[in-house]
Structure 1
């Protein structure tokens, strides 16, 4: 939880999400988990991250509920980090970041990875924000309101 932030930051879901999973290594660990990496040594080998950083990030991701630690599926003495439902819900965030990176951070002939769907072997459609009725929305088509408890609205935000 954001402890020393301003009141508006404490109420902001974006700020809380960034506090929980927003640093580079945490998102890269989650990305690798979507590629079925589960063991500490596999994360370290794939990411090239220092052991102390990986240890701290995995601990924090377990504490926030993104991963749970389980005995190794092969019966060995190792433990595995398995995405929880909460962790699997990060998938659209990772895909959205990937698509933004593909669009804006690579030159036309530069080598990069591509995410394909398993059934058809085709690239994914771009992620879009849509209204409840299906209309595509942009930043100027939305506004925030403050809510308490079960969704009771308070004052509108500007």
Structure 2
């Protein structure tokens, strides 16, 4: 086995472990930034449920393109192709992945009930890297933002600063 054959999987694992977000492009969908955990040789994701990240294009048995960013600089480090497998709720693999995911889930409103909710309403997906890495794109990957129901803040009413910052008279 050559050095390149050994370094590729090691770089995929190390870079993906250290990155808080990965960019994942499923079949027929745009790339999305998704949080994950690295568990037993694959990136594990939870989503497609209320209050969780969307996982469009990630179908069981399909392929996905994963781009890993640098945690400190935010630039692309490596890109790899993954096989997608959906873990069956309650299976041994699912339980192990959910235990890891639960520890990394930020801002959960129902931390105690979270695994049960994930089993009932969400999907847990495993992205296992194929043997070879893919070439990083040379150009910009900038794209228009994806449609969302989120809104930006409205303008501050004209009288609000006077109310907040008025001086107290003695």
TM-score relative to the length of structure 2: 0.25
**Structure whose residues are more often helix by fraction:** 1
Between Structure 1 and Structure 2, the one with more strand by share is 2
TM-score normalised by L of structure 1: 0.26
Q: Higher relative CO (CA 8 A, sep ≥ 6), structure 1 or 2?
A: 2
